[in-house]
Amino acid sequence: MTILVEHVDFGSQFDDKNVHSEDINELVLDGGFPQPKNASQNTFFAPEINAFGHSFRNYDEESERQKGVEEFYRLQHINQTYDFVKKMREEYKKLDKAEMSIWECCELLNEVVDESDPDLDEPQIQHLLQSAEAIRKDYPNEDWLHLTALIHDLGKILLLPKFGELPQWAVVGDTFPLGCAFDESNVHHKYFKENPDIKSPAYNTKNGIYNEGCGLDNVMMSWGHDDYMTMVAKENGSTLPNAGLFIIRYHSFYPLHKEGAYTHLMNEEDFENLKWLHIFNKYDLYSKSKVLVDVEEVRPYYLSLIEKYFPAKLRW
């Protein structure tokens, strides 16, 4: 099932890019982001600075944390190859690491801090709940979107010993396609020059091994929590709509949804689902805060959504 967002114009974000656009009436734009037309004082608005006093996704600000983030991307860009991703997908598709509920997995994230994120150093469960609660206020009737926000980063359990204890560069950070040329919109693009795939002529054209308009489901993305969680949801029979699964797999694909790169690989369904990803991204990026959510207060609501869209226990 694909959920359509009608009357939303995202064309301005992709000037001179191959992106579909439509006129808007039903939703109004605030600072370039879709907003409910009846926005009230309780509506979430994007702040201008992160928890560290810097602009969001600022990879140039001089700080010890930024140096660590750049080193992360150096390692990621060198080591994420087509063959590596193929190997990871074959290994983790077995889903033989654990059996647990969605909420049990949420609680595991208390042990995880994302070293690639320049905007927050709180435990990941707080980021999940902050995103979900912000969306819930603005889109109260889209319960699938609330749950998508809650679970979108659960794949970060790959950092934990039980799930392989993969290095950070193989779990978090921006994602990008393998098997075609690395677009210059990728953060710290300069480090791709050391990636072994650079030496393969087949991987170094705009389309690479893909056909234009093939659809992102047919594209090998860099391995990480996004691809893993999408795999877990699909293989366990989740009834989330396709738009929710699209958000989970591509929410870290900033070269696409922020810079408009790689749109030549998208099909019609991708363009429809991208509209929901743009809506989601505001809450994913700008809801990160030092103000913590009361987990026990919101727990019953999210347990009800989990029961609606997922089996009681999942294979991971």
3-state secondary structure the chain: CCCCCCCCCCHHHHCCCCCCCCCCCCCEEECCEEECCCCCCCCCCCCCCCCCCCCCCCCCCCCHHHHHHHHHHHHHHHHCCHHHHHHHHHHHCCCCCCEECHHHHHHHHHHCCCCCCCCCCCCHHHHHHHHHHHHHHHCCCCHHHHHHHHHCCHHHHHHCHHHCCCCHHHCCCCCCECCCCCCCCCCCHHHHHHCHHHHCHHHCCCCCCCCCCCCHHHCCECCCHHHHHHHHHHHCCCCCCHHHHHHHHHCCCHHHHCCCCCHHHCCHHHHHHHHHHHHHHHHHHHCCCCCCCCHHHHHHHHHHHHHHHCCCCEEC
The answer to whether 185 is annotated as binding is no
The reply, when asked if residue 116 is annotated as ligand binding, is yes
User: Is position 115 annotated in a ligand binding site?
Assistant: yes
Assigned token pair, 50: 């992160």
Residue 54 annotated in ligand binding: no
Q: Is 252 annotated for ligand binding? A: yes
Q: Is 188 annotated as a binding residue?
A: no
Question: Is 173 annotated for ligand binding?
Answer: yes
Q: Is 107 annotated as a binding residue?
A: no
Contact 102, 310 (CB under 8 A): yes
Judge whether 67 is annotated as a binding position. Answer: no
217 labeled part of a ligand binding site: no
101 is in an annotated binding site: no
156 annotated to bind ligand? yes
Of 221, 217, 180, 181, the closest CA to residue 89 belongs to 221
114 is in an annotated binding site: yes
CB atoms within 10 A of CB 303: 13
Asked whether residue 264 is marked as a ligand-binding residue, the answer is no
Binding site residue list for Fe cation: 127, 152-153, 225, 251, 284
Binding site residue list for substrate: 57, 114-116, 156, 173-174, 251-252
Binding site residue list: 57, 114-116, 127, 152-153, 156, 173-174, 225, 251-252, 284
